[in-house]
Chain A
């Protein structure tokens, strides 16, 4: 056995126990190379240590948990692949309801405004029909000034009338 074959056997021992033939061949090589003996023993011990490492803890129901998780994933996929109209129908219905309410509200507001305008016009027309002729307002300014004129008592006014007569 040469150096290369020895290296290959060591590499093989990393992955699996050596066969009896391989083991015998290796021991023969080590007998001629005692300097490699200690390293081989370390390699062997490490390989055994790694091989004997305990399995990681795993739930007994791991498989069923995975299958349940896959079911959940599939449901999510189904939800995202529903027909377009089924996916958007509820949203469209909501938007339509909001639009109808908005339209009705605006119409009611406009109708109310028109009624108010109509009432105002009617009141104006009524007032316009009852207003007297313009001549009636000939003494308007004089009468209007009376409001700001000083207030006189009845006795004073009678006295003024007597004096003027």
Chain B
């Protein structure tokens, strides 16, 4: 029942996005503003964890919405708006990563490269270290942020999109341009890597309580 209700809510939300986008297509600025307000944070969350510089990530997020506005005339209702905008966001991120690879002076850290290779940034094995429960959440978040950023691009994007409940596995597969099983495999591998790297923190019990 829970899933069905959620599914209905999601479908309704998608229809609303499509309706807004059709209005944008007709030049309705208010509809565009509503879409920006709704998607700015999810898009920024995705970009920021690929290009971990707030200013640059925000610039790129702006470009995503400008691209959406400029391409509105090509939008087809057959494609879900969320799939479309996350695809644009990912493509812009990849272009930026490519640009930085060509200009090493501006490059990202080595961990944020394309493809599905092993993470370039490895963390020290701290399995013998048991962080005290009193450790602030900020530090734990830093650890998980760093571990997520060190993931290969495809795994990271799949994992981050997986957090967006309104984006289905099928849509993630479409955004990444791979099959459904490959997408699930990417998420599984990303989570396995994170579990290995964050084992002492996971076992501390701090994250087991969803309310924390």
**Which residues of A does B touch, CB under 8 Å?**
11, 14-17, 19, 41-46, 48-59, 62-63, 65-67, 69-70, 73
Contact = CB atoms under 8 A, between A and B. Distances in A.
A51 B163 contact: yes
**A interface majority secondary structure:** helix
Interface in B66-120: 66, 69-70
Contacts of A46: 191, 194-195, 198, 202, 207
Interface residues of B, number: 52
Contacts of A69: 62, 65-66
A48 B62 CA distance: 29
Given A41-B208, A44-B208, A62 B191 contact: no
Contacts, number: 114
Given A14-B191, A70-B69, A42 B163 contact: no
B127 interface: no
A73 B70 contact: yes
A49 B58 contact: no
A62 B137 CA distance: 27
Contacts of A70: 32, 65-66, 69
A56 B202 contact: no
A48 B201 CA distance: 12
Nearest to B52: A56
A44 B212 CA distance: 13
30 contacts: A14-B187, A15-B162, A19-B1, A41-B208, A42-B195, A42-B202, A43-B195, A46-B194, A46-B198, A46-B202, A48-B207, A48-B210, A49-B140, A49-B144, A49-B207, A50-B163, A53-B141, A53-B145, A54-B141, A56-B44, A56-B57, A58-B40, A58-B61, A62-B61, A63-B36, A66-B62, A66-B66, A69-B62, A69-B65, A73-B70
